[in-house]
């Protein structure tokens, strides 16, 4: 576990749990990059060769790119560039080694005014949570398409057998579409997670836990909630609040 009081009034914690797997294919970053706060979660794709390499490569390239490009470029442009570099790097690795390693990635860059820029590929998520609302990034997945079409409710999507089928991932093709979002998080709680959490724990439960506890306790409670709900996947959670 990582727990650091980063800037005055901003506290965060990050926990990655192996769950019921033989190894942890998740990777994360929580800290600073060129004066900004940055948080990221990557989840290597199960069933793909060397998926643990892919997730760790994603975090490493993101960290290097942010360090090089902030504050010279705007955070949204930095995220776009970082994700494209990650995709190109993993794709080249796959071509050289005849592999099909892939990973999801959700990353958030936060400035001192609590403005937050978020990039997403795959189904790792970022949440912005207040007492009255829960917002999260849109999964790039088959089931999310069914939710968007009104075929499934979010609750039904959590139980759908195809919930792990992605429409986008890093490293599996030469091109990738990055979803970019912006949020004001002053007074809110920022949560990033791999699907080992949010495929099992409803948004309302996540909201209740992160509003009730400090980040380190909230991370542990979220992981316990996922396991109690039947998750056997790797589970990675970052909670930041100010």
Provide the pLDDT for residue 235. 98
- Measure the CA–CA gap between 174 and 181, rounded to whole angstroms: 23
Q: Which domains does the chain have, with CATH numbers?
A: 2-241 (3.60.40.10)
What CA–CA distance (Å, rounded) separates 39 from 221? Answer: 19
Q: Residue 92: which residues within 8 A CB-CB, separation 6 or more?
A: none
- H-assigned helices in 98-235: 142-148, 154-157, 195-198, 203-212, 215-228
Q: Is 170 exposed, middle or buried (0-12, 13-18, 19+ CB in 10 A)?
A: buried
Sequential pLDDT tens for the chain (242 residues): 666 666 555 799 999 999 999 889 999 999 999 999 999 999 999 666 666 889 999 999 999 999 999 989 999 999 999 999 999 999 999 999 998 899 999 999 999 999 999 999 999 999 999 999 999 999 998 888 888 888 888 887 877 887 778 999 999 999 999 999 999 999 999 999 999 999 999 999 999 999 999 999 999 999 999 999 999 999 999 999 97
Q: What is the pTM (predicted TM-score) of this model?
A: 0.93
Q: How far apart are the first and last CA of the chain?
A: 19
Q: How many CB atoms lie within 10 A of CB 185?
A: 22
233/197 Cα distance (integer angstroms): 8
Q: CA 67 to CA 51: how far, in whole Å? A: 25
pLDDT at residue 8, as a whole number: 58
Determine contact, residues 34/66, Cβ cutoff 8 Å: yes
Nearest to 102 by CA among 61, 137, 58, 142: 58
CA–CA separation, 40 and 223 (whole Å): 17
Q: Is-contact 110 116, C-beta < 8 A?
A: yes
User: What pLDDT score was predicted for residue 165?
Assistant: 84
Confidence at residue 139, expressed as pLDDT on a 0 to 100 scale? 94
pLDDT attached to residue 149: 85
């Amino acid at each position: 576990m990582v727990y650091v009081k980063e800037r005055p009034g901003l506290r965060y914690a990050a926990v990655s749990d192996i769950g019921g797997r033989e190894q942890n294919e998740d990777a994360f970053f929580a800290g600073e990059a060129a004066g900004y706060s940055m948080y990221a979660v990557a989840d290597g794709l199960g069933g793909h060769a060397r998926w643990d390499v892919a997730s760790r490569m994603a975090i490493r390239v993101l960290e290097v790119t942010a360090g090089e490009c902030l504050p010279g470029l705007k955070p949204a442009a930095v995220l776009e560039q970082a994700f494209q570099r990650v995709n190109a790097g993993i794709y080249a690795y796959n071509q050289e080694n005849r592999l099909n390693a892939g990973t999801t990635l959700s990353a958030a860059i936060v400035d001192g005014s609590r403005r937050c820029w978020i990039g997403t590929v795959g189904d790792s998520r970022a949440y912005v949570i207040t007492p009255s609302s829960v917002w999260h990034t849109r999964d790039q997945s088959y089931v999310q398409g069914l939710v968007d079409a009104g075929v499934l409710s979010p609750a039904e999507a959590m139980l759908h057998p195809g919930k792990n089928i992605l429409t986008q991932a890093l490293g599996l093709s030469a091109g990738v579409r990055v979803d970019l979002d912006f949020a004001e998080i002053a007074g809110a709680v920022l949560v990033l997670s791999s699907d080992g959490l949010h495929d099992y724990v409803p948004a309302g439960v996540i909201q209740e836990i992160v509003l009730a506890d400090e980040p380190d306790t909230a991370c542990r409670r979220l992981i316990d909630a996922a396991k109690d709900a039947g998750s056997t996947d790797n589970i990675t959670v970052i909670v930041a609040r100010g």
